[in-house]
Amino acid sequence: MRIDLIGKLVVALVCCPMAGVSAQGVAEPRTVLAIFDSSDSYSPSVDNNLIHNNAEMVLNYLGLKVRYHDIRQGLPVEQEMGDVYGVITWFMDDALPQADKYCLWLSQEAKKGRKLVILGNFGAYRDSLTGELVPPDVFNGIFRQLGLEYAGDWSDNPFVIEVAKKDSRMVEFERTLEGEIASYERVVSFDQRNKVYLELNRTDIPAGRSAAVVIAPVGGYAMGGYEIFIDYLSDKRKWRIDPFLFFAGAFALEGKPRFDTTTLFGKRIFYSHVDGDGLRNPLESDRSRNCAQALKDEVLKKVDLPVTVSVISAEVDPRYYGSEEIVNQAREIFALGNVEAGAHGFTHLLDWQRQLTVFAIRGYSRPIATLGDLDILSESPYSSAMIISASREEMLKKEINGAVDYINRVLLPRGKKVAVYQWTGDCRPPAEAIQMVDDLGIGNINGGDPRFDPLNPSYTGVSALARQAGGFVQPYTSNANENIYTNGWKGPFYGFEFVIDTFRQTEDPTLVKSPPRRTSPINVYYHFYGVEKIKSLEAVRKVYDFALTQEIIPVFASEYCAIVKGFYKGKIFTLPAGGWRIRDYGACRTVRFDDCRLHPDLAKSRGVIGYSNYAGSLYVHLDESNDAELYLSSHPAGRVYLRDSEFVLSALKMGSEEISFTGRVFRKSKCHFANLRPEGNYEVEIKKKPSGKTVSTGVIQADRSGILEIVTPKKGEYYFQAKRQG
Amino acid sequence: MGIAFWRSALFFTVIAVFAVIIFPSQRELGKLYIESGAVGKATAYLGPYFHKYPHDTANTLRYFKGLLYFGNSAEFLKFARQMRDRYPEDLAYHGILADFYEHNLQPQLASEEWLAMLRINPLQPEIKEKLVSYYELSKDIQGLMRFYSMQINQHAAGLEDYYDLGRLYSLDKDPSLAQRVYLEILKKFPGQDAARMRLAEAYEFSGKIPPAVDLYVQLYNNSPSNADYAILLAEKLLKYGREERALDYLGRFLRRFRQDGNFIDNLLYLYQAKSAQMDYLAVIEDFYRNYPIDNEILKFMAQSYFAANEYEKSEILLRSYNEKTGGDFRSHHLLGDVYLALGRKTAGQREYREALRLIQERAK
């Protein structure tokens, strides 16, 4: 008996941690380490390199996070590699410092099971410090991991290079290869499992076949010149490979869940934010009024959408460039129910590195005065900027904490606080600036300015999700602002309306050979001065009007920032029973499966409130618990679930007899629940939140397929309850 | 009392005479308003004046600016196209239309105006950049070819334009047109070795081997210290059966590049592929007798003997090399290969291990 007990205790002790492990599942690392060479003119920095400018957006879309490592700083240390799923490299030339050491390191990482993707030049055939060539056995240590052998025989003689075999879908995505077979290196694919999508042939040598685009079991390779086309005059680029297919294959992502930042409850995310510039500018149509008044009266009061509005505090504060009148105008804007408060700096920094700004403030910033100042300005694109004489620490404190504090204290009504910091000028704040904003517990945004339209007909124009500095995340905007569409505010002033092209292309592209694919939210982003001209105001309204015709779910900019944060913090574990545990996703409550014909198994899953499909992808809606388990099944769900919603809902409870939730709406909106009794009648009661006053009651009927549509009142926060009758 | 009649008559006469100057005309008012930013008021004056005097380009352009300012695209397009067609040599109308199309995301229409502008005045670098970029991005290869040819005919093409055109013809696998371009470059810029090389490639593709080989010889002779040209020449001489000349050049190459291990490796790769390699070995041995201090040659010879299955000779040379220099990754690796070929597995493994140690040490 005693022995039995001890035996049971031992079993329990041994099994408990195992049970913990099995419940947690196996962590699915999501970080790709991007190696770049800052001495390369195309990759000078962490936020300006071939991978960040082209590939990161696609990797983000596929659910991966990218961390950068400048190879000029030496090899990554072991601690850096812990969470790394794969390594991607993209170089323009063939030399690196300590190239042989790099080759051995990279080869070791691949042997450890990390995926390996090489785009463009392999980059380590030669040591850039000594000029010495790396022995072929050494660099081929890496190629062999990919089932390839690099044999040289480089040529740029177009007369002797031809395409031997190509899979157009993979290698002619945004541009055909016809008349553009300009360079050659001999790479032999010896692994039968490799899929060669582009094979070249050099006709003047024996055995001239070369594998130029390959997906291998451990990664992928796309030869320089066949991965992307670059027009060096305009710096515009077009993909040759289909990066979505290529990365999904090379990183073996098929069938895996991907955190999604474009969609919430099945609808495309919409958010809008206004930078504070030009708030005091008089209107073209009526010079007695300014942009603050026009924004409030002509836009914010008329558009039933949430808008995050920021001000530059020195422009409002009567101690500097503002006045009591401006203070009141700002207060009126921030008092509006559909307005969230943002901060756009104290003096509007232009160049975060060189400490240049817009406004001169005694004892803080001043006009150019010395030859040294001239040197500083001449290195910056902002030639007429003011120079900040304060220390860097003081500058950041004033521009971030000071600006936020002023708006909170002076301009906001009770209960409202600044929710977002909208970066100014070059939008390249140092890591400590982003950290300061994070420490305030608010979101941050700006930079990126993506465009995908007839002038930029490529996914390369769509920016990554965020810029990263020292481990801190700066979400980029999802669309470019009106300053860009109006040529730096030189006209045409109606230009902002062309942002609609990008809205369209990032959901259903027609300018490239691509299936529909939602790659960005809709983001209406402009400045106060964007309403100054008659035509520019019309454009702003036209853009909002377009957005209102789309199937969107409007959120504030701070909520979008939180979604991006959730994307970076979220974790995915594979469960032994074939599902996934999804944790720490915060506001990023959508996971997506592409090319998916399966459905969530709602009986088996936990924390999953519903799902919907768009363009062949399955969008799964997670609840607020921050910890969900998801299983897929080939059978449609048997339980009641949320199919989609045009508004943010929370505290959702669902059953076949009763559904209840709270919702925040900016306009009359709809949501749909599925798997209710076909043609069953439901008594719906809507109460105002928090008063609990009933605003609407009625009976609605589910349709023949059991879909129940609930329509909200116009604006406000409500409690909703739907009970089955009879 | 009062003002004399003649004085008041004089006053009014002066006013009448100078009225034209004192009171601005419609044209001047329009100009003043538009320059002060009052575009609405300006248009009221610019418009009527434009309809009376459309040939006044400065006023017309101000009027168009006003129309665009207010987004009056239809009217702008109607009048701007009329004016462009009436004055096809006037850059301004093409320019304002090109800007309009560009800003309205219609790059193809903009490109037609840019092309027209460059026809009128080929020396507009910014416009040229935009047009070339448009052709490149939209992959209008024929358009790009026509444009470069036009620039050449207008004597406005720079060296880069010639190269770009030659590259396009080469990519189009049209050697005769490519040859024409590269010959033109060499006529205008005789020092352009890059053109010489491209021309040689085009000749080779057309089967014109003797002039191609001559060009490769010229390339090397023009830059005898350029190892790439030397290798290229060796490759072509061997490829086209100019064995005697190849042997002749081998001695020269060895003298000039004997310190360059990479070059020696590349050269070896070329020569050992040839059946007459023992002849080359003889040249090399002869060379080594004259320059016994050049250890790289030992390795070169060892590799050649190895390729010719003369393993014992290769072993002696490699051991000598390793003794003299301490050896490197390649020499130990090759010695490993030699031992393996001789059936001496343990010795081979030892050499491979040493090669690995050296490479790892180098990587530290």
- Chain A contacts of B102, Cβ < 8 Å? 455
Tell me the nearest-neighbour CA distance from A529 into chain B, angstroms.
16
Instruction: Choose the closest CB to A175 out of B103, B139, B364.
Output: B139
Instruction: Choose the closest CB to A455 out of B107, B170, B171.
Output: B107
Instruction: Tell me what pLDDT residue A16 has.
Output: 34
Q: Is the pLDDT of residue B5 over 80?
A: yes
Q: What is the mean pLDDT of residues A244-259?
A: 97
Chain A's closest residue to B202, CA to CA, is: A159
- The DSSP 8-state label assigned to residue A508 in this structure reads S
> What is the 3-state secondary structure of A40-100?
CCCCCECCECHHHHHHHHHHHHCCCEEEEEEHHHCCCCHHHHCCEEEEEEEECCCEECCHH
Instruction: Tell me what pLDDT residue B298 has.
Output: 82
Tell me the nearest-neighbour CA distance from A717 into chain B, angstroms.
40
Q: Is the pLDDT of residue A15 over 50?
A: no
Those residues with Cβ within 8 angstroms of residue A287's Cβ, 6 or more apart along the chain or in another chain: none
Residue A553 banded pLDDT, cuts 50, 70, 90:
very high
The strand ranges marked E within A371-478 are 386-388, 420-422, 443-445, 466-469, 472-475
Q: Is the pLDDT of residue B83 over 60?
A: yes
Cβ of B105 and A180 within 8 Å? no
Tell me the nearest-neighbour CA distance from B136 into chain A, angstroms.
7
Chain A's closest residue to B205, CA to CA, is: A159
Cβ of A231 and B139 within 8 Å? no
Residue B21 banded pLDDT, cuts 50, 70, 90:
low
Which residues in B have their CB inside 8 Å of a CB on A?
68-71, 100, 102-107, 129, 132-133, 136-137, 139, 141, 167-168, 170-173, 175, 201-202, 204-205, 239, 262, 329-330, 333, 359-360, 362-364
Percentages of chain A per state (helix, strand, coil), in multiples of 5: 25, 30, 40
Instruction: Tell me what pLDDT residue B296 has.
Output: 76
Q: Is the pLDDT of residue A504 over 90?
A: yes
How far is residue B123's CA from residue B66's CA, in Å, rounded to a whole number?
29
Q: Is the pLDDT of residue A6 over 70?
A: no
Chain B's closest residue to A160, CA to CA, is: B205
Q: Is the pLDDT of residue A4 over 70?
A: no
Tell me the nearest-neighbour CA distance from A533 into chain B, angstroms.
9
For A125-160, the pLDDT digits (tens) are 999 998 888 988 899 999 999 999 999 899 999 999
Spatial contact of A240 and A175, defined as CB atoms under 8 Å apart: yes
Q: Where are the domains of chain A?
A: 13-256, 273-352+401-550, 564-724
Q: Is the pLDDT of residue A108 over 90?
A: yes
Read off the tokens for A89.
């490299």
Q: Which helix (H) or strand (E) holds A722?
A: strand A716-724
Residue A14 banded pLDDT, cuts 50, 70, 90:
very low
For A673-702, the pLDDT digits (tens) are 999 999 999 999 999 999 999 999 999 999
Q: Is the pLDDT of residue A5 over 50?
A: no
Q: What is the mean pLDDT of chain A?
A: 94
Instruction: Tell me what pLDDT residue B23 has.
Output: 66
Read off the tokens for A184.
């050659």
- Chain B contacts of A457, Cβ < 8 Å? 137
Pairing of strands A209-216, A627-630: unpaired
- Chain B contacts of A236, Cβ < 8 Å? 133, 137
Own/partner contacts of B208-212, CB < 8 Å, gap of 24 or more, are B209/B240, B212/B236
Evaluated on CA atoms B164, B168, B169, B170, the torsion sign reads positive
Q: Is the pLDDT of residue A106 over 60?
A: yes
Neighbours of A200 (CB within 10 A): 26
Q: What is the mean pLDDT of chain B?
A: 88
Instruction: Tell me what pLDDT residue B273 has.
Output: 62
Using a 10 angstrom Cβ sphere, with 0-12 exposed, 13-18 middle and 19 or more buried, the burial of residue A67 is middle
Q: Which of A590-594, B25-29, B175-179, B325-329 has the lowest mean pLDDT?
A: B25-29
Q: Is the pLDDT of residue A182 over 90?
A: yes
Read off the tokens for A628.
């969900």
Cβ of A138 and B360 within 8 Å? no
How far is residue A322's CA from residue A316's CA, in Å, rounded to a whole number?
4
What share of chain B in percent tops pLDDT 90? 55
- Decide which of 3.20.20, 2.30.29, 3.40.1130, 2.50.20 is the CATH code for A273-352+401-550: 3.20.20
Instruction: Tell me what pLDDT residue A304 has.
Output: 95
Residue A619 banded pLDDT, cuts 50, 70, 90:
very high
Tell me the nearest-neighbour CA distance from A234 into chain B, angstroms.
6
Interface predicted TM-score (ipTM): 0.89
Q: What angle do CA B1, B2, B3 make, to 5 degrees?
A: 125
- Chain A contacts of B168, Cβ < 8 Å? 179
Instruction: Choose the closest CB to B171 out of A175, A182, A491.
Output: A182
For A471-481, the pLDDT digits (tens) are 999 999 999 99
Instruction: Tell me what pLDDT residue A18 has.
Output: 32
Instruction: Tell me what pLDDT residue A721 has.
Output: 96
Widest Cα–Cα separation across chain A: 95
Residue A185 banded pLDDT, cuts 50, 70, 90:
very high
Spatial contact of A715 and A305, defined as CB atoms under 8 Å apart: no
Pairing of strands A339-343, A420-422: parallel
Chain A's closest residue to B329, CA to CA, is: A135
- Chain B contacts of A494, Cβ < 8 Å? 71
How far is residue A700's CA from residue A711's CA, in Å, rounded to a whole number?
10
Tell me the nearest-neighbour CA distance from A698 into chain B, angstroms.
48
Instruction: Tell me what pLDDT residue A208 has.
Output: 94
Spatial contact of A437 and A217, defined as CB atoms under 8 Å apart: no
Instruction: Tell me what pLDDT residue A12 has.
Output: 38
Q: Is the pLDDT of residue A317 over 80?
A: yes
Instruction: Tell me what pLDDT residue A20 has.
Output: 36
> What is the 3-state secondary structure of A627-638?
EEEECEECCCCC
Q: What is the mean pLDDT of residues B118-142?
A: 96
Q: Is the pLDDT of residue B218 over 60?
A: yes
What residues does A621 pair with on adjacent strands? A590, A610
Tell me the nearest-neighbour CA distance from B97 into chain A, angstroms.
13
Instruction: Tell me what pLDDT residue B328 has.
Output: 86
Q: What is the mean pLDDT of residues A375-380?
A: 81
How far is residue A545's CA from residue A531's CA, in Å, rounded to a whole number?
15
Q: Is the pLDDT of residue B292 over 60?
A: yes
Q: Is the pLDDT of residue B271 over 80?
A: no
Residue among A140, A157, A486 with most chain B CBs within 10 A, to mutate: A157
Q: What is the mean pLDDT of residues B270-299?
A: 71
A13-256, CATH topology level: Rossmann fold (3.40.50)
For A556-586, the pLDDT digits (tens) are 999 999 999 999 999 999 999 899 999 999 9
Asked whether this chain's domains A13-256 and A273-352+401-550 adopt the same fold, the reply is no
Instruction: Choose the closest CB to B201 out of A159, A233, A535.
Output: A159
Instruction: Tell me what pLDDT residue A444 has.
Output: 98
How far is residue B163's CA from residue B194's CA, in Å, rounded to a whole number?
9
Instruction: Tell me what pLDDT residue B28 has.
Output: 84
Nearest to A664 by CA among A525, A544, A559, A546: A559
Instruction: Tell me what pLDDT residue B293 has.
Output: 65
Neighbours of A603 (CB within 10 A): 10
Cβ of B172 and A179 within 8 Å? yes
Q: Which of A182-186, A540-544, B255-259 has the lowest mean pLDDT?
A: B255-259
* Helices and strands (DSSP H and E) totals, chain A: 18, 46
Spatial contact of A496 and A536, defined as CB atoms under 8 Å apart: yes
Cβ of B204 and A457 within 8 Å? no
Q: Is the pLDDT of residue A2 over 60?
A: no
Read off the tokens for A595.
């090319």
Q: Whole-prediction pTM value? A: 0.90
What share of chain A in percent tops pLDDT 70? 97
Instruction: Choose the closest CB to A535 out of B70, B107, B172.
Output: B70
Residue B272 banded pLDDT, cuts 50, 70, 90:
low
Cβ of B167 and A182 within 8 Å? yes
How far is residue A176's CA from residue A168's CA, in Å, rounded to a whole number?
8
Neighbours of A653 (CB within 10 A): 10
- Chain B contacts of A455, Cβ < 8 Å? 102, 105, 107
Neighbours of B189 (CB within 10 A): 12
Cβ of B363 and A104 within 8 Å? yes
For A19-34, the pLDDT digits (tens) are 334 457 899 999 999 9
Cα Rg of chain B, angstroms:
38
Instruction: Choose the closest CB to A101 out of B68, B204, B363.
Output: B363
Chain B's closest residue to A102, CA to CA, is: B363
Q: Is the pLDDT of residue B277 over 70?
A: no
How far is residue A47's CA from residue A339's CA, in Å, rounded to a whole number?
31
Chain B's closest residue to A452, CA to CA, is: B105
Spatial contact of B282 and B254, defined as CB atoms under 8 Å apart: no
Spatial contact of A527 and A493, defined as CB atoms under 8 Å apart: no
Q: What is the mean pLDDT of residues A352-363?
A: 94
Residue B360 banded pLDDT, cuts 50, 70, 90:
confident
Cβ of A182 and B201 within 8 Å? no
SS3 A185: strand
Lookup result for tokens 């005065």: A369
What share of chain A in percent tops pLDDT 90? 89
Nearest to B261 by CA among B331, B323, B308: B331
Tell me the nearest-neighbour CA distance from B27 into chain A, angstroms.
23
Read off the tokens for A548.
């209102």
Residue among B33, B77, B97, B103 with most chain A CBs within 10 A, to mutate: B103
User: In chain A, which among 182-241 make CB contacts under 8 A with chain B?
Assistant: 182, 204, 231, 233-234, 236, 238
Chain B contact for A538, CB < 8 A? yes
Q: Highest mean pLDDT: which of A367-381, B12-26, B51-65, B171-185?
A: B171-185
- Chain B contacts of A495, Cβ < 8 Å? 103
Read off the tokens for A391.
């220390």
User: H-type helices in B23-106, by residue range?
Assistant: 26-35, 39-52, 57-69, 73-86, 91-103
How far is residue A456's CA from residue A445's CA, in Å, rounded to a whole number?
23
Instruction: Choose the closest CB to A179 out of B132, B171, B364.
Output: B171
Q: Is the pLDDT of residue A9 over 90?
A: no
Q: Which of A461-470, A532-541, B27-36, B209-218 has the lowest mean pLDDT?
A: B27-36
Cβ of B359 and A498 within 8 Å? no
Cis peptide before A44 (omega within 30 of 0): no
Q: Is the pLDDT of residue A644 over 90?
A: yes
Count of A-B CB contacts under 8 Å: 89
Cβ of B71 and A175 within 8 Å? no
Nearest to B273 by CA among B297, B298, B238, B249: B238
Q: Which helix (H) or strand (E) holds A334?
A: helix A324-335
Instruction: Tell me what pLDDT residue B8 has.
Output: 87
Neighbours of B18 (CB within 10 A): 10
Q: Is the pLDDT of residue A649 over 60?
A: yes
